[in-house]
Chains A and B, each alone.
Chain A
Amino acid sequence: MTWVNAVVQGLLLGGVYALYACGLSLVFGVLRIVNLAHGDLTVLAAFLALVVGQALGVHPLLTLLVVVPALAAAGYALQHAVLFPALRGGELAPLLVTFGLSVVLQNLLLEAFSADTRSLPAGTLGTAGLALTDLLSVGWLAVLTLGVAVAVLVGLQLLISRTAIGRAMRATSDDPETAQLMGLDDRKVYAVATAIAFATIAVAGVFSGMRGTFTPTLGPQLLIFAFEAVIIGGLGSLWGTLVGGLVLGVAQTVGAQIQPSYGVLAGHLVFLAVLAARPGGILRRAERR
């Protein structure tokens, strides 16, 4: 039963990872760059929710009303002012810029909030759960997080496949130069895509802040988990990202079941195994290169 429990908890944990990953996946899918500050932005969102929640005395879920627009605006501005100029510098410049941003964010958060461990007070939502059997129970918050992850991914999928802006994102991702010739403003398309990605980062930050603890230096770890979820599931597929998150979550909880310190390591090893055996991700049909 402990093993079943480990798998169930892993699936729920995977919801968080899928949530981390969708912003990373979207930015890569449209802009073809990897945002190395992704994890730190997630932590920033959690801290923002903490500050807003304390200032207004509201539940963390309500802070989403502030944090999501704030991060989306930050994403739009960052893309417009910093990342777009960097995109012209080839592959290297955006990576260096986002890495520098990651260092800046992390250390600003350290200065502002110290290295103390925090969490967002979820109240009864955080403690209440559903006992499936005597030994197996699931927390409502964990279930809600997985539900939100699925909802966000479905929402993104619909946005990209059904709307005009989604169409513009796909076109710009396919061929930015031709997209301009067809009257699309690549700068704006990129900025909107980044804003949407940052909005998902905000959601991820708030939910992971309620589910667990965070410190200013947690960002890199979150980036790695998000990245592993994306690669395990397969690049460029949002469904793959969900599956990748779930696989990573299960790998970690099952690993931790063997020995607590093996949790993260097991996740990494599953990632490396996928990379070795199915570099296109587990959902991708075997492709010959």
Chain B
Amino acid sequence: MTDAHIVRHTRTSRVATGVVVPLVVVLAALPYYAPGSVTRLLVDLFALVVLASMWNLLAGYGGMISVGQQGFLGIGAYTVLVADLVGLDPFLAVPIAALVAGLVALPTSFLVFRLYGGYFAIGTWVVAEVFRLLTVEVGAVGGGSGASVTGLSAYAPALRGAVIYWCALAALVAAVGGVFLLMRSRLGLALTAIRDEPTAADSLGVEVRSAKRIVFVLAAAGCGVAGAIIVLDSLRVQPDSVYGVQWSAFMIFMVVIGGLGTIEGPVIGAIVFFALQQLLSPFGSWYLVVLGAVAVLAALFARRGLFGLLTRGGDVRLFPTGYRVRAPTEAST
């Protein structure tokens, strides 16, 4: 035991694995013993976690700041409505929403990838606006006023609530776990290289582009799922709501507050945001003023977010994506 060696797990991450797995099991069993009001709240929170993780995947790992993810959220939402209209089970529409949003994102990427930095951000926003404006032109889905999802009335309310909850939980596990696995893959390695050394990675050219494209498509699919869940929960689709740019504001807030470029940050950010939303929403637009101001301050003074503050720059990783060198002495313990 004298050589230094390279490890993935830290002691915290091993503990975390021991906590995360039982936690998911407990959460999965929740509908059997918790009231419906609790699971409904958690559906909202889970959707936010999915959105935050997707935005973090884009910006924190892919280096792409999008202000247009609500476009894919809206597409996911409308996929549920269309599935309902053609008589499909709305729950079946959740994976389809991911597929549709991902498929739309692929050609979109070829357009918006021509823009960089801030212009990429607004470009994605324009695309989301185009989706919204095209959607409101379609009378069959209710035009500008939207429509209700009726197919769920076949389910008993308690069962419906539970299934929506399980969908949301599954989406959360898939989103957070998916980002975690992705960042441990070869693609994750390429993305880290791009983030750390953009100019050097530029020489890889095509590979960088395709890595970013995969991230863009996956993030869109995730936002589509979140949109589908939000609609299943509210049973109503309104274009101005699901395509609203406030979703981007929320995503940015959650990720910046929680900690950009970490798996844990967006989860923490989503919980904080959710709590603030519950506490401050009676204060109307003041609560958004506070959110905006906090985001500005975090971007200026706490670049690593709450997770960065919590870990105080130490080597704490609940979800180990990178490798760490263990010094010989430490390795012998």
Determine direct contact between A and B, CB below 8 Å: yes
Taking Cβ atoms with an 8 Å cutoff, the residues of A that contact B are 28, 32-36, 82, 85-86, 89, 91-97, 99-104, 106-108, 110-111, 220, 223-224, 227-228, 231, 235, 261, 264-265, 268-269, 271-272, 275-276, 279
**Does B54 sit at the interface, judged by CB under 8 A?**
no
Residue of chain B at shortest CB distance from A265: B133
* Cβ B119 vs Cβ A231 within 8 A: yes
Number of A-B contacts (CB under 8 A): 126
Q: Which residues of A contact B285 (CB under 8 A)?
A: 107-108, 110-111
**Does B295 sit at the interface, judged by CB under 8 A?**
yes
Q: Shortest beta-carbon distance, A107 to chain B, in Å?
A: 4
Q: Report the bound CA distance from A252 to B249 in whole Å.
A: 27
Q: Which residues of A contact B288 (CB under 8 A)?
A: 103-104, 106-107
Q: Which residues of A contact B303 (CB under 8 A)?
A: 89, 93
Q: Report the bound CA distance from A262 to B169 in whole Å.
A: 40
| Contact among B114, B126, B296 with A82 in the assembled complex (CB-CB below 8 Å) | B296
* Cβ A108 vs Cβ B137 within 8 A: no
**Does B293 sit at the interface, judged by CB under 8 A?**
yes
**Does B115 sit at the interface, judged by CB under 8 A?**
yes
**Chain B interface mostly:** helix
Q: Which residues of B contact A231 (CB under 8 A)?
A: 115, 119, 123
Q: Which residues of B contact A86 (CB under 8 A)?
A: 299-300
* Cβ B129 vs Cβ A268 within 8 A: yes
Q: Report the bound CA distance from A86 to B302 in whole Å.
A: 11
* Cβ A99 vs Cβ B252 within 8 A: yes
Return the 4 tightest CB-CB contacts between A and B, nearest first: A34-B118, A103-B292, A104-B292, A100-B295
Residue of chain A at shortest CB distance from B121: A95
* Cβ B300 vs Cβ A97 within 8 A: yes
Q: Report the bound CA distance from A35 to B126 in whole Å.
A: 16
* Cβ B286 vs Cβ A111 within 8 A: yes
Contact with A along B130-151 (1 / 0, CB 8 A): 1001101100000000000000
Q: Shortest beta-carbon distance, A20 to chain B, in Å?
A: 13
* Cβ B300 vs Cβ A268 within 8 A: no
Q: Report the bound CA distance from A13 to B125 in whole Å.
A: 22
Residue of chain A at shortest CB distance from B119: A34
Q: Report the bound CA distance from A223 to B245 in whole Å.
A: 13
* Cβ A268 vs Cβ B126 within 8 A: yes
Residue of chain A at shortest CB distance from B289: A107
Q: Shortest beta-carbon distance, A264 to chain B, in Å?
A: 6
**Does B291 sit at the interface, judged by CB under 8 A?**
yes
- Listed A/B pairs (7) with beta-carbon separation below 8 Å: A82-B296, A93-B299, A94-B118, A108-B285, A227-B119, A268-B130, A279-B114
| Contact among A33, A96, A227, A272 with B130 in the assembled complex (CB-CB below 8 Å) | A272
Interface residue total, chain B, C-beta cutoff 8 A: 41
Q: Report the bound CA distance from A35 to B121 in whole Å.
A: 11
* Cβ B286 vs Cβ A265 within 8 A: no
Q: Which residues of B contact A261 (CB under 8 A)?
A: 133, 136-137
Taking Cβ atoms with an 8 Å cutoff, the residues of B that contact A are 59, 65, 67, 111, 114-115, 117-119, 121-123, 125-127, 129-130, 133-134, 136-137, 245, 249, 252, 256, 260, 284-286, 288-289, 291-296, 298-300, 303
Residue of chain B at shortest CB distance from A32: B117
Residue of chain A at shortest CB distance from B133: A265
* Cβ A104 vs Cβ B284 within 8 A: no
* Cβ B59 vs Cβ A275 within 8 A: no
**Other than the known A86-B299, A220-B125, what 15 A-B pairs have Cβ atoms closer than 8 Å?**
A86-B300, A89-B300, A89-B303, A92-B65, A97-B296, A99-B252, A99-B295, A100-B293, A103-B295, A107-B286, A111-B284, A224-B126, A268-B129, A268-B130, A276-B111
* Cβ A272 vs Cβ B122 within 8 A: no
Q: Report the bound CA distance from A272 to B299 in whole Å.
A: 31
Residue of chain B at shortest CB distance from A85: B300
Q: Which residues of B contact A264 (CB under 8 A)?
A: 129, 133
Q: Which residues of B contact A93 (CB under 8 A)?
A: 299-300, 303
* Cβ B126 vs Cβ A272 within 8 A: yes
Q: Report the bound CA distance from A279 to B120 in whole Å.
A: 12
* Cβ B252 vs Cβ A34 within 8 A: no
Q: Which residues of A contact B115 (CB under 8 A)?
A: 231, 275, 279
* Cβ A272 vs Cβ B291 within 8 A: no
Q: Shortest beta-carbon distance, A163 to chain B, in Å?
A: 27
